[in-house]
């Protein structure tokens, strides 16, 4: 990660081809690029590091790539992301630790799992080494790297090397162990070599790029072209321990919203002066009433329903909304971990990114509920799994609108918001005396 002249840049790297000291063949690289497990790894890491960048860059980060990085014993795929920030070096370092590739996601939840499961401290592993220098303009510049595949040498000459592999839903234990051994072997090599790319490899990389959301590939100037749509509107994002909400904030700002974020545990009452409330994603079981974060989300979403406040809910919050509407929740036999799924939405086919272990279920597309009366559900084809809920003053999605796996992010979010606000305004006003509107109590 680097910071120069207020531009912060990161390089999400994931997906590994074992080269074992030789140059891989074109066929091997093509097979590697076509491997869905390896593609999933890279896209999930891209999402995670875009979350970090969204907390530092109000306009978000732009994405370049993917590209291939050849090292001595392995070949990786990577993206480059960069954005403009006013944050100082201390905040940049604090906001980008720790790397999701070596900790997991969401970070807060993952660190608790590490503390519970790992028998010994990690030492320097996954820390940072950085060079901070004057930038010539009175400020400072930063170049840094993660401490992985690093040898620690004790005063007695003992050497320990820490390395690991990213586990996703398609992971094979034997393959991951071999990958880890290949990574440690690189320490015995002196330098890295650049791979010259066959034309077919370039084509395979273009295929990889095609699955990434156009929104995150645009410059911040291009993203700002839609600010007129909701200019002057305000939104509170109620957060639930997942930094995907920072990416949601970038999307909302690109549409003209003024956005602030507040953890669910810190919200006593929903503020009356916001045009929209967005209940964000997070880890956990939506039925776990021993988790005060979950309890707070239930209370706040129930309050929004009863007050008929315009709101959106995503992922965990979508599941909690479903429970409040009387729908059952089930644990998926196979979690959607960074999975790209196509569903028909609003008379067009939509490409959507899912990260969920639990799902709401409904037998029909119409839900009759006392808090909200008539609710419409969009289901996965040939399934009872609920992808979208919409009612008079709300809409919710199981998929992540902001993810790089979701295409047309800004259009999807704008459609949801316009639907919620228009239905809410239609419901809360009635016409009298040729167009004078008065509130309905």
- 235 classed as catalytic: no
What DSSP designation does 138 have?
S
pLDDT value at 54 more than 70: yes
The three-class DSSP label of residue 125 is coil
Write down the mean pLDDT value for the chain: 86
Query: Token match 């095609």: residue?
Result: 210
With beta carbons less than 8 A apart as the criterion, state whether 14 and 166 touch.
yes
What are 432's strand-pairing partners?
A: 436
The three-class DSSP label of residue 284 is coil
pLDDT value at 356 more than 90: yes
- H or E element at residue 9: strand 7-10
pLDDT band for position 395 (50/70/90)?
very high
Of 38, 179, 314, 402, catalytic: 402
CA pair distance 107, 48, nearest whole angstrom: 9
- 246 classed as catalytic: no
CA pair distance 313, 26, nearest whole angstrom: 45
- 2-210 has CATH 3.30.2350.10 classification: no
Boundaries of CATH 3.40.50.880 in the chain? 229-431
- Residue 430 is predicted with a pLDDT of 40
Residue percentage of the chain with pLDDT more than 90: 48
Of 235, 315, 318, 324, catalytic: 315
**How does pLDDT run across 253-276, given as a tens digit for each residue?**
999 999 999 999 999 999 999 999
pLDDT band for position 235 (50/70/90)?
very high
Q: What are phi and psi of 48, to 5 degrees?
A: -60, -45
CA pair distance 254, 231, nearest whole angstrom: 10
- Residue 149 is predicted with a pLDDT of 74
pLDDT band for position 178 (50/70/90)?
confident
Most confident of 64-78, 124-138, 345-359, 413-427: 345-359
- pTM reported for the whole predicted model: 0.76
- 229-431 has CATH 3.40.50.880 classification: yes
Q: What are phi and psi of 312, to 5 degrees?
A: -120, 155
Q: Which residues of 245-258 are buried (b: 16+ CB within 10 A; e: fewer)?
A: bbbbbbbbbbbbbe
Boundaries of CATH 3.60.120.10 in the chain? 2-210
- Residue 438 is predicted with a pLDDT of 32
Residue percentage of the chain with pLDDT more than 70: 91
- 402 classed as catalytic: yes
């Amino acid at each position: 990660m680097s910071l120069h002249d207020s531009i912060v840049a990161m390089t999400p790297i994931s997906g590994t081809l074992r080269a074992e000291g030789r140059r891989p063949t074109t066929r091997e690289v093509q097979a590697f690029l076509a491997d869905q497990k390896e593609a999933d790894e890279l896209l999930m890491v891209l999402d995670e590091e875009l979350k970090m960048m969204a907390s530092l860059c109000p306009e978000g980060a732009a994405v370049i790539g993917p590209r291939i990085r050849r090292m001595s014993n392995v070949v990786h795929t990577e993206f480059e992301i960069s954005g403009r920030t006013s944050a100082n070096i201390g905040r940049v370092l604090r906001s980008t630790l720790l790397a999701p590739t070596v900790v997991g996601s969401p970070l807060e939840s993952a660190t608790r799992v590490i503390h519970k499961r790992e028998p010994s401290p990690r030492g320097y592993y996954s820390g940072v080494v950085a060079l901070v220098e004057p930038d010539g303009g009175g400020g400072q510049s930063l170049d840094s790297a993660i401490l992985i595949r690093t040898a620690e040498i004790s005063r007695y000459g003992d050497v320990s090397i820490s390395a690991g592999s990213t586990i996703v839903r398609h992971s094979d234990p034997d393959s991951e162990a071999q990958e880890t051994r290949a990574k440690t072997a690189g320490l015995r090599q002196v330098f890295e070599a650049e791979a010259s790319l066959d034309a077919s490899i370039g084509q395979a990389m273009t295929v990889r790029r095609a699955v990434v959301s156009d929104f995150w590939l645009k410059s911040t100037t291009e993203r700002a072209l839609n600010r007129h749509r909701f200019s002057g509107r305000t939104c509170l994002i109620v957060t639930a321990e997942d930094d995907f909400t920072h990416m949601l904030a970038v999307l909302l700002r690109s549409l003209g919203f003024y956005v602030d974020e507040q953890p669910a545990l810190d919200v006593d009452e929903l503020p009356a002066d916001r045009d929209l409330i967005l209940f964000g994603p997070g880890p956990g079981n939506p039925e776990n009433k021993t988790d005060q974060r979950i309890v707070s989300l239930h209370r706040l979403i129930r309050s929004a329903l009863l007050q008929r406040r315009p709101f959106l809910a995503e992922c965990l919050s979508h599941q909690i909304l479903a429970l409040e509407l009387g729908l059952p929740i089930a644990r998926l036999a196979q979690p959607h971990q960074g999975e790209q799924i196509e569903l028909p939405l609003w008379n067009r086919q939509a490409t959507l990114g899912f990260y969920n272990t639990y799902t709401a279920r409904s037998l029909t597309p119409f839900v009759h509920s006392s808090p909200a009366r008539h609710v419409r559900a969009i289901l996965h084809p040939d399934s009872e799994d609920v992808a979208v809920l919409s009612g008079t003053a709300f809409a919710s999605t199981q998929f992540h609108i902001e993810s790089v796996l979701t295409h047309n992010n800004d259009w999807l979010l704008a459609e949801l918001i316009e639907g919620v606000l228009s239905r809410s305004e239609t419901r809360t006003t009635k016409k009298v005396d040729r167009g004078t509107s008065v509130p309905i109590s």
